[in-house]
Chains A and B, each alone.
Chain A
Amino acid sequence: MKTFAIQGRCLAAPPDWRERLAAMLGAKPRRIGNWAELGLYGALCCLADAGETALPPDALLMLGSRRGTYVPTGQVLDQMRDDLPMPLMFLQTQPSQLLALLAARMHWRGHAAFIAGGSPQALLELAAVQSGSAGALLGWVDEMDGGSTQWLRLKPCEVGGNEWKPAAAEALFMPDITHLRTAGNILDNTD
């Protein structure tokens, strides 16, 4: 069982997230695809919320998604009927490209992985066993239904007391949750 304090979060992308991302990057991102842009925006916002510009070298970056890069994959399959795909479009089908983009943006080298499908809770369970003292940056990104980009900057901590509550799955990304404990329990400090 592991306990994390939530040091920063991004729970949704505002309507003007593309403009905000361009402002953060200093230029509009090019040819990385909508899903990766959405992920980049959320991760950078989350880090800023945690007061960080980069992850420590020993931190873990874990990214998950229900549908990931379905849109560019469908486009590449269409292109493949008659010809080879466009190279940059093929790269957009690879979810791990977002990990590289984030690493490059943070000037960071470390352990990062993409987990396809499942749930944010399952992702948290994997992050809990794999992360060390520098904690983890946990993201869940989907571009369907207008797009969602949810990120948490988690740092391990010791919390006493008995205020832990069993949590519903969707509670992971609730704004009033301050701590998480794996094994399906969440500490809610707002009570």
Chain B
Amino acid sequence: MKPIHLAGRGLACSLGLGVEQALTTLRRGGAQASRVTLPGAMAGDYPFHAMPHGQTDWNERARDLVQRVSAEAGAQQIRDGVLLIATSSFDIGAVERGATQMDYQAFADKIAAWLDWTGPVHVVNTACTSSLNALLSAQALLRRGAAADVLILGVELDNRLTLGGFAALQLLSRTASQPFGALRDGLVLGEAVAALRLSTRDAALWRLAGGANVVDGEQPTGASVRAVNEMCVRALADAGATPDGIDLIKVQAAGSPGNDAVEAQGLRAAFTTVPPLVSLKTLIGHTMGASGAAEIALLTGCLEQDIWPAYGYEQDKELGVALAPVIPQRVRRFMATILGFGGSHASVILERGA
């Protein structure tokens, strides 16, 4: 089986437009979330990780971000490859502004046209796990030789439907996201466009070793312990790895009182000794369908440049796990997990080449 290389990456998020700019912002201490006001008696003011991009026209802004991020990942080299767009909200922000109609295919066609894409295009929507499920589809296409190059494009842009829905479900914090924190009280959402270029031709530092997605209907809006455990077991088996071969886990941990506890319990079930953990959601918010790609793009950059998030809050000791305060010394293989609506639990394993 040919190795699957992470041949390129691109990112636009609240930390900046481009991986390097995001890492530079992180070195300087990160970026403050802005605030969004939602309508209604039960609503109000919520923090939100918006991108530093001034364009006001939704489609123009989206086009610039998609082109910029895809170019950063080297998409222009593989326009006849497979494009997997991962999103939970499509272009609903444009629909809200009356700038377009709801149409899945038109959304896919629009993005393909922005990129002059000539190869097959698929739109993966499994809520928050969309990017990781796109990675699993890409892995299958590459392993079976059905493609030599795949671009994963996570797209999650400003819209009120997602914010309003999460507010209505009382899942949002009104202050800050505190993953695995003792005083965690909810999620902070963010927007991101992220690209991962996978290739069996172009060698690169990081390789996709395997992964798994487990849907469990027990909790349609949250995680289940047994599914987190099963996800880890299946992902390890798919990657040919053992629990003690994982040097770091990028957890979902978004600051949800219930879900963070479930994830911690699931990790304790899957790992005799839980590896060092990292959460990136305090830095960029929960970027929904783009989060898997965005967090992998950011994490690989952090690992390469020895940058580590600072968590300025108390961890919840009752969880039995904690986020690593400093960067682990040698990360050869890491697991990246996202849990989401639809009972979806997804994880991929990336390993550093020699």
Residue of A nearest to B95 (CB): A77
Give the size range of A's interface with the partner: 35 or more
Residues of B near A116 (CB, < 8 A) are 90, 104, 107-108, 123-125
Contacting residue for B215 out of A86, A90, A100, CB 8 A = A100
| CB interface residues, B 149-171, toward A, < 8 Å | 160-161, 164-165, 167-169
A74 to B213, CA, bound (A): 30
**CB closest residue in chain A, given B96:** A77
Contacts of A101 in B (CB 8 A): 217, 220
| Alpha-carbon distance A145/B216, docked complex (angstroms) | 31
Q: With the chains together, A5 CA to B216 CA distance in Å?
A: 27
Q: Are A90 and B164 in contact (CB under 8 A)?
A: yes
- Cβ-based interface call for A117 (8 A): yes
Contact of B144 (CB < 8 Å), options: A70, A73, A129: A129
B292 to chain A, nearest CB (A): 13
Verify B217–A113 contact, CB threshold 8 A: no
Whether B99 sits at the interface, judged by CB under 8 Å, is no
- Indicate with 1 or 0, residue by residue over A122-160, a CB within 8 angstroms of chain B CB atoms: 100110011000000000000000000000000000000
Least Cβ–Cβ distance between A26 and chain B, in angstroms: 16
- Tell me whether B215 and A61 are in contact (CB under 8 A): yes
Fill in one digit per residue for A62-78: 1 if any B CB lies within 8 Å of its CB, else 0.
00011110100110110
**Complex CA–CA separation, A118 to B123 (angstroms):** 8
Structural contact, B220 and A100, CB atoms closer than 8 A: yes
Q: Is the CB of B122 within 8 A of A76?
A: no
* B127 in the interface (beta carbon within 8 A): yes
A67, A94, A118: the one within 8 Å of B342 (CB) = A94
Task: Look across to chain A and name the residue whose beta carbon is closest to the beta carbon of B120.
Answer: A122
Q: State whether A68 and B104 are in contact (beta carbons under 8 Å apart), knowing that A83-B43, A90-B164, A93-B165 are contacts in the complex.
A: yes
Q: Are A111 and B341 in contact (CB under 8 A)?
A: no
Beta-carbon nearest neighbor of A130 in chain B: B140
Whole-angstrom distance between the Cβ of A138 and the nearest chain B Cβ: 14
**Contact (Cβ within 8 A) A96 B127:** yes
Which one of B34-42, B180-188, B278-286 is at the interface? B34-42
Interface membership of B126, Cβ < 8 A: yes
Give the distance to chain B from A169, nearest Cβ to Cβ, in Å.
14
Q: Are A99 and B39 in contact (CB under 8 A)?
A: no
Cross-chain contact A77 with B41 (CB below 8 angstroms): no
Interface residues in A83-120 (C-beta closer than 8 Å to B):
83-87, 90-91, 93-106, 108-118
**In the assembled complex, which residues on chain B have CB atoms less than 8 Å from the CB atom of A104?**
217-218, 220, 343
**What is the bound-complex CA distance between A120 and B141, given in angstroms?**
17
Selected contact of B40 from candidates A84, A105, A118, CB within 8 Å:
A84
Q: Are B141 and A129 in contact (CB under 8 A)?
A: yes
Query: Please, which residues of chain A bring their CB within 8 A of the CB of B136?
Result: 111, 130
Q: With the chains together, A68 CA to B90 CA distance in Å?
A: 12
B337 sits at the interface (CB 8 A): no
Question: Is A80 interfacial (CB 8 A cutoff)?
Answer: yes
Known contacts A87-B169, A101-B217: A118-B105 contact under CB 8 Å: yes
Q: Report the separation of the CA atoms of residues A77 and B97 in the bound assembly, to the nearest whole angstrom.
A: 11
Report yes or no: B43 in contact with A84, Cβ–Cβ below 8 A. Answer: yes
The distance in angstroms between the C-alpha atoms of A104 and B230, with both chains bound, is: 16
Q: How far, in Å, is B129 (CB) from chain A's closest CB?
A: 8
Q: B221: CB under 8 A from chain A?
A: yes
Residues of A within 8 A of B164 (CB): 76, 80, 84-85, 90
Expressed in whole angstroms, the Cα–Cα distance for A182 and B92 within the complex equals 33
Contact of B140 among A80, A97, A112, A129 (CB under 8 A): A129
A61 to B270, CA, bound (A): 25
CB pair B124 A115 closer than 8 Å: yes
The chain A residue sitting closest to B109, CB to CB, is A117
Contacts A83-B43, A93-B161, A126-B137; A115 near B125 (Cβ below 8 A): yes
Known pairs A61-B215, A91-B221, A111-B213; A99 contacts B126 (CB<8 A): yes
Asked if B104 contacts A96 (CB within 8 A), the reply is no
Task: Across the interface, name the chain A residue whose C-beta is closest to B217.
Answer: A104
| Interface assignment of A82: CB less than 8 Å from any CB of chain B | yes
27 intermolecular pairs with C-beta atoms under 8 Å apart:
A67-B102, A73-B92, A73-B102, A80-B160, A80-B164, A84-B38, A84-B39, A85-B161, A85-B164, A85-B165, A85-B168, A86-B168, A91-B165, A96-B125, A96-B342, A97-B220, A100-B341, A101-B220, A104-B217, A111-B136, A111-B213, A113-B213, A114-B124, A114-B342, A116-B123, A117-B108, A130-B137
Question: What are the nearest 7 A-B pairs in CB distance?
Answer: A104-B217, A96-B342, A117-B104, A83-B40, A90-B165, A103-B217, A117-B105
Besides the known contacts A96-B125, A115-B125, 4 further A-B residue pairs in the complex with CB atoms under 8 A apart:
A67-B103, A84-B38, A96-B126, A113-B137
Chain B residues with CB under 8 Å of chain A are 38-43, 88, 90, 92, 95-96, 102-105, 107-108, 120-127, 133, 136-137, 140-141, 143-144, 146, 160-161, 164-165, 167-169, 212-218, 220-221, 226-227, 230, 340-344
